[in-house]
Structure 1
Amino acid sequence: MSFSSVSIAMTGSGGAGVMTAGQMLVDAAARAGWYGLMGRSLGPQIRGGESAALLRLSPQPVQSPDDFYDLLVAVDWGNIERFASELPLHAETVIISDPVQGPVPALMLEQSPRVIEVPLKEIARSTPGGRVNMVALGLVAAAIGIPAATIEQVLSTVLGKKGPEVIAQSLASLHAGMQAAEPLAGHLRPLAPPTAAGQDRWSITGNEATGLGALRGGVRFCAAYPITPATEVLEWLAPNLTHVGGTLVQAEDELASINMCLGGSFGGVPSLTATSGPGLALMTEGLGLAVASETPVVVVDVMRGGPSTGIPTKSEQSDLNIAVYGLHGDAPHIVTAPLSIADCVFTAQWSVMLAESRQCPVIMLSDQAAGQSRAVLDRPTLPDFHAHRLRAEAAEGDYQRYALTADGVSPMAIPGTAGTTYTADGLEHSPKGTPSTQARHHQEQLDKRLRKLTEFDYGPAWAEISGPPDADMAVITFGSITEQVREALARAAETGLHARLIAVRLLAPARPARMVAALQGIGKLLVVEQNHSAQFHSLLRAQYDLPPLVHTLHRPGPLALRPHEIVTALGALAQADACVAA
């Protein structure tokens, strides 16, 4: 690549403090002028179990994991076998192992990494109130070149509420770890000089960015039931909604959540709920009611491994089918997907605008990889559009809530508006809202509900398209995996292999004319996604005319697709085309 980065994994049993250490490391790197990304790998246990802080630090913006980890610091080896495959190592990887924790497990030595023993626990014991995770933090900070003053400042800020004694003990452990970094000299390349010192940047997770986008879009009511990995959306919204006069209610379950949101929206307040796959499954009946009654609502689905309870703490893009096809009957609705952590702001705000203006449910498909990862990034350009619902004014005579308008959108009355009483339920109805079983009314309302979505101009936001206009190959993807694809295409271009990127933000309804333009001149297509059954590829096949040669790169979570795998798949696609041509 044209820039350097350092990837670090800090592992330990739950309670070992590796997440705290990892967060401090990212914060310190950011304060010193670097960029960073921190993901996490956790077991399904409520307490204890395995955990890993997964970091990538760079002088350039990064929002995707690299191919391999350069440094693995094991506070202990507890349950490492459960997620060792998520920690790709190579011959240049340095493993820091505490000898009192036992030998390095054989499965971590398969790629012949370099092992350096550092007595982390013994060092911690040598300082009053010593903490092993702070020793590890000091070791890593010194090894990669983060200034001591910066990491000290971050530590003091983070632990400020714990009092001066805890801060002093942690600083002592930190300094002891820095002194212990000498054996790493020459074995690990330091970070390249920072490039963003003093610039206006954010440290934000995808879930926090989603909450911000929802708030900016006009959401003022949220009802939800906590569920991994979506809970942080609610945790962010709970205090911030109050600052703008909004309300968050923790409902008793997902069925109550969606129905409370429909009630809030029916009353005129833009509403949102956040959940994951199991919760979305429970909400499908309520979403059908939103379609039939034309009530705006946004459901953020932070996807995780499925089916059923699945793998709650791991990422997977496997809710695409239920999001697009999961409602019974002909129930047109909108499905969006943010393309990165930063894009969660835009896509959430856009989703609220679409729900309100089209008077329909919008399902926004985020995922654990974006939602629970923290990125240090340049302050994004925030969109200036906001939700606007077509509202009915006081009327005299026969108010038709579901009038057959040209664009399919009818003025929606707020309860209490004079002369606008109407029935809003899940039964098919006449333009007035009166329940009806007439074939004519059913046909008219089906056409109306479809027309307002398919004939709307979504503009260029439907997808992000980049790359050489004369390329004959393209990679098409969606969701957070887009960042790995971007990096892979940049690497491929350096070797002379060029391809266009089509990252789809609007998954439903389909945009056939837009896709034709995006695929202009493309004869070979690589579809990249993170699920077992290639759901995105099937969706593309069903909705669009694709080039003659299509390859897929897909696998389920929890193993993230790495940039080098995408480069390899792109090279295979190019070679396959050459064979066909020959």
Structure 2
Amino acid sequence: MSKPLQPTTLSIALTGSGGAGVMTAGQILLDAAAHCGLYGLMTRSSGPQIRGGEAAAMIRLATQPVQTPGDRFDLLLALDFENVERFAAELPLDSGSLIVVDPAAGEVPAFLRASGAAVAGVPMAKLAKTIAGGRVAMIALGILAKLTGLPESSIIAAIATSIGRKKPEAMEASANAVRLGASEAPDGGVSRLAMPAEPRSHPRWSITGNEAAGLGALRGGVKFVGGYPITPATEILEWLAGALPQCGGVLMQAEDELASINMIVGASYGGLPSLTATAGPGLSLMIETLGLAVASEIPLVVIDVMRSGPSTGIATKSEQSDLNIAVYGLHGDAPHVVTAPLSIADCLLTAQWSVHLAETLQTPVIMLSDQSLGQTRAVIDRPEDVEFAGKRLVLEGDPTNYQRYAQTESGVSPMAIPGTAGGQYTADGLTHTPRGAPSSQARDHVEQMDKRQRKLDRFDFGAHWAEIDGDGDLAVLTWGSSSGPLREAVAAARAAGIQVRLIALRLISPTQPERLAAALQGVKRVLVIEQNHAGQFWRYLRAHYALPDDVVPIHCPGPLPIRPGEALAHIQQGALA
């Protein structure tokens, strides 16, 4: 009898109350897998509380790169059952799953029993007490090592990296707990993950989308950041707070979002590429100043890490529902740029590109990331280095009769850095003359509006506007974080013999009608898939692009992620209809 094939991907969920160490354990498990040459990602879920409370770490390990959680969980390890029902919709289990619980935690909740998953009991709390300084989360990691096939040594090495060498007693206790947990793990119940035969030959990164966005901002040349903490964007500011000073830059925490956007307008006016990061409620507060930046042609970048709305919504869950405000939210005719990263790794490229676009076009750029990208940690191949040639056009040479807002063929005019002799000008939100003097004349108003629009219309955004993959008369059209599960679904559809192409837009605004028409050449049916309630992307496409007659809008709101199997079902149905 032939041996059953080992799986190439394994999904694990850890749940527990605040302080139980769920997130730390999940991070250690991911680090250990990376040490073994695996890929993976970890998403996190928590309740609405600011601090403490129930938490879930959801890890997917794989022998190949993965960009999205799987369709189901092979293994759920519950340290306790405190408010675990809040994660009921986020923990798809079935009869092939295994639930590991501590019998002392009480009855297994009904929704878990209803899944049909097998249940195995391990007295994790009791075992932890047999070790001086032992912790339940470390016992759990030993159990996970045994069940998944990860070497105990890799788990212990990852703990050493996490704890550091300054706590030898804690390290010894943790190592002993891991070994004890592995020895007491249930026998079987989950197929062990296939381990790479050879160690990895090229470097990999463990990075979140928020960290990648921060790195992209630095590579783009950002030197000033003004920010106010808000979930789920805070980690961008936290990461830049440490990294920016090392690159000669400055980060300042403002008293609110209004102050942060005004700070970066001032810093950019002074010549420094500038950025802030926020979420939907913060973006709402920044809208008036974004209009000022458009009118005064001051470059800046706002990264909006979207969350479920409206209003406070669900601060810890993801949704692609800020597209409308990002594109249309500024009052008046206010041409600006909106971008969206397509994966965790792509947060780096898109942030770097966004800074380049803002500086080159002298306009605000809103980058639409979201919680699922920003707060998910992934083990990825090192992204390729990309360089952009453009930079801010500044006043040089003879400043005689300097006109800051002079009419030019490209629409971009030289910007004087404060202190440049002869380069004085007025920069405000009033309609103005080419010199910047306030004006109420119709001619000045129309000329300046034409100038600002011309900058975007005549600029060549190049190949980065979208990622296009595959061929066929069926196309899936999407944007932002929805690209990950759709990329996996498209690959599965092709493996099943369905010819389908994927078009994922990185540049939301300004529109690129000629490029999209070329990408849709030969397509008869289009599935527009996105994660929001109103179909904002579909309505935007319908308003600004010539699409085939047969367009199927598929829009599902947060907070639940779009899963690959769900997307595959839509593709299969679209291919048959």
Normalising by structure 1, we get a TM-score of: 0.97
Q: Which amino acid aligns with 2:195?
A: P
> Is residue 433 of structure 2 the alignment partner of residue 433 of structure 1?
no
Residues 34 and 57, structure 1, Cα contact 8 Å, conserved in 2: yes
Could you list the per-position Cα deviations for residues 112-149 of structure 1 after superposition, in whole angstroms to 9, with x for gaps in the alignment? 11111111111112222221111111100121111121
> Is residue 156 of structure 2 the alignment partner of residue 191 of structure 1?
no
Partner SS state of residue 83, structure 1: helix
Residues 228 and 260, structure 2, Cα contact 8 Å, conserved in 1: yes
TM-superposed CA distance for 1:223, in Å, is 0.2
Q: Which amino acid aligns with 1:344?
A: C
Partner SS state of residue 426, structure 2: coil
> Is residue 460 of structure 2 the alignment partner of residue 460 of structure 1?
no
Residue in structure 2 matched with residue 17 of structure 1 by the alignment: 21
C-alpha separation in 2, matches of 1:153 and 1:161:
11
TM-superposed CA distance for 1:283, in Å, is 0.2
Q: Which structure 2 residue ranges, 5 or more long, are not aligned?
A: none
User: C-alpha root-mean-square deviation of aligned residues, in Å?
Assistant: 1.3
Could you list the per-position Cα deviations for residues 31-87 of structure 1 after superposition, in whole angstroms to 9, with x for gaps in the alignment? 111111011001121222111001000111111111000000000111111121011
Residue in structure 1 matched with residue 237 of structure 2 by the alignment: 234
Could you list the per-position Cα deviations for residues 149-181 of structure 1 after superposition, in whole angstroms to 9, with x for gaps in the alignment? 111111112112651111111112111111112
Pick from 412, 416, 420 the counterpart of residue 413 of structure 1: 416
Residues 6 and 193, structure 2, Cα contact 8 Å, conserved in 1: no
Pick from 43, 59, 62 the counterpart of residue 55 of structure 1: 59
Residue in structure 2 matched with residue 520 of structure 1 by the alignment: 521
> Is residue 108 of structure 2 the alignment partner of residue 104 of structure 1?
yes
Partner SS state of residue 207, structure 1: helix
> Is residue 107 of structure 2 the alignment partner of residue 71 of structure 1?
no
Partner SS state of residue 302, structure 2: strand
TM-superposed CA distance for 1:387, in Å, is 5.5
Pick from 243, 261, 278 the counterpart of residue 281 of structure 2: 278
Against the structure 1 CA distance between its residues 396 and 487, is the aligned structure 2 distance closer, same or farther, given a 3 Å change threshold?
A: closer
> Is residue 335 of structure 2 the alignment partner of residue 329 of structure 1?
no
C-alpha separation in 2, matches of 1:339 and 1:174:
37
Residues 394 and 419, structure 1, Cα contact 8 Å, conserved in 2: no
Residue in structure 2 matched with residue 220 of structure 1 by the alignment: 223
> Is residue 95 of structure 2 the alignment partner of residue 91 of structure 1?
yes
Partner SS state of residue 12, structure 2: strand
Against the structure 1 CA distance between its residues 123 and 408, is the aligned structure 2 distance closer, same or farther, given a 3 Å change threshold?
A: same
TM-superposed CA distance for 1:498, in Å, is 1.7
Q: Which amino acid aligns with 1:224?
A: G
Q: Which amino acid aligns with 1:143?
A: L
* 1:233-382 superposed matches below 5 A: 233-382=236-385
C-alpha separation in 1, matches of 2:417 and 2:48:
44
TM-superposed CA distance for 1:197, in Å, is 2.4
Residue in structure 1 matched with residue 140 of structure 2 by the alignment: 136
Q: Which amino acid aligns with 1:71?
A: L
Q: Which amino acid aligns with 2:192?
A: P
TM-superposed CA distance for 1:553, in Å, is 2.2
Q: Which amino acid aligns with 1:355?
A: A
Could you list the per-position Cα deviations for residues 251-273 of structure 1 after superposition, in whole angstroms to 9, with x for gaps in the alignment? 00000000000000000000000
Q: Which amino acid aligns with 1:138?
A: G
TM-superposed CA distance for 1:352, in Å, is 0.2
C-alpha separation in 2, matches of 1:264 and 1:43:
37
Q: Which amino acid aligns with 1:565?
A: E
Q: Which moved more, 1:115-124 or 1:284-293?
A: 115-124
Residue in structure 1 matched with residue 174 of structure 2 by the alignment: 170
Residue in structure 2 matched with residue 492 of structure 1 by the alignment: 493
Residue in structure 2 matched with residue 37 of structure 1 by the alignment: 41
C-alpha separation in 2, matches of 1:441 and 1:382:
43
Q: Which amino acid aligns with 1:559?
A: L
TM-superposed CA distance for 1:397, in Å, is 3.0
Against the structure 1 CA distance between its residues 370 and 386, is the aligned structure 2 distance closer, same or farther, given a 3 Å change threshold?
A: farther
Residues 9 and 55, structure 1, Cα contact 8 Å, conserved in 2: yes
Could you list the per-position Cα deviations for residues 228-265 of structure 1 after superposition, in whole angstroms to 9, with x for gaps in the alignment? 00011011111111111100000000000000000000
C-alpha separation in 1, matches of 2:384 and 2:395:
33
Could you list the per-position Cα deviations for residues 311-354 of structure 1 after superposition, in whole angstroms to 9, with x for gaps in the alignment? 11111111111000000000010000000000011000000000
Could you list the per-position Cα deviations for residues 289-323 of structure 1 after superposition, in whole angstroms to 9, with x for gaps in the alignment? 00000000000000001111111111111111100
Normalising by structure 2, we get a TM-score of: 0.97
C-alpha separation in 1, matches of 2:30 and 2:158:
10
C-alpha separation in 1, matches of 2:187 and 2:370:
36
C-alpha separation in 2, matches of 1:75 and 1:111:
19
Q: Which amino acid aligns with 1:507?
A: I
Q: Which structure 1 residue ranges, 5 or more long, are not aligned?
A: 577-582
C-alpha separation in 1, matches of 2:161 and 2:425:
56
C-alpha separation in 1, matches of 2:572 and 2:562:
16
Residues 35 and 59, structure 1, Cα contact 8 Å, conserved in 2: yes
TM-superposed CA distance for 1:210, in Å, is 0.3
TM-superposed CA distance for 1:184, in Å, is 3.4
Q: Which moved more, 1:386-395 or 1:86-95?
A: 386-395
Residues 6 and 192, structure 2, Cα contact 8 Å, conserved in 1: no
Q: Which amino acid aligns with 1:163?
A: K
C-alpha separation in 2, matches of 1:460 and 1:281:
31
Partner SS state of residue 184, structure 1: coil
Partner SS state of residue 240, structure 2: helix
Q: Which moved more, 1:29-38 or 1:379-388?
A: 379-388
Could you list the per-position Cα deviations for residues 436-478 of structure 1 after superposition, in whole angstroms to 9, with x for gaps in the alignment? 111111111111101101221001100000112xx00000111
Residues 3 and 60, structure 1, Cα contact 8 Å, conserved in 2: no
* 1:469-548 superposed matches below 5 A: 471-548=472-549
* 1:541-560 superposed matches below 5 A: 541-560=542-561
C-alpha separation in 1, matches of 2:6 and 2:313:
39
Residues 475 and 525, structure 1, Cα contact 8 Å, conserved in 2: yes
Q: What stretches of structure 1 move > 6 A for 4+ residues in a row? A: none
TM-superposed CA distance for 1:396, in Å, is 4.2
C-alpha separation in 2, matches of 1:157 and 1:422:
54
C-alpha separation in 1, matches of 2:147 and 2:163:
23
C-alpha separation in 2, matches of 1:531 and 1:298:
24
Residue in structure 1 matched with residue 32 of structure 2 by the alignment: 28
Residue in structure 2 matched with residue 579 of structure 1 by the alignment: none
Partner SS state of residue 133, structure 1: helix
C-alpha separation in 2, matches of 1:566 and 1:553:
10
Against the structure 1 CA distance between its residues 69 and 157, is the aligned structure 2 distance closer, same or farther, given a 3 Å change threshold?
A: same
Q: Which amino acid aligns with 1:499?
A: V
* 1:383-402 superposed matches below 5 A: 383-385=386-388, 388-402=391-405
C-alpha separation in 2, matches of 1:2 and 1:271:
49
TM-superposed CA distance for 1:552, in Å, is 2.2
Q: Which amino acid aligns with 1:533?
A: A
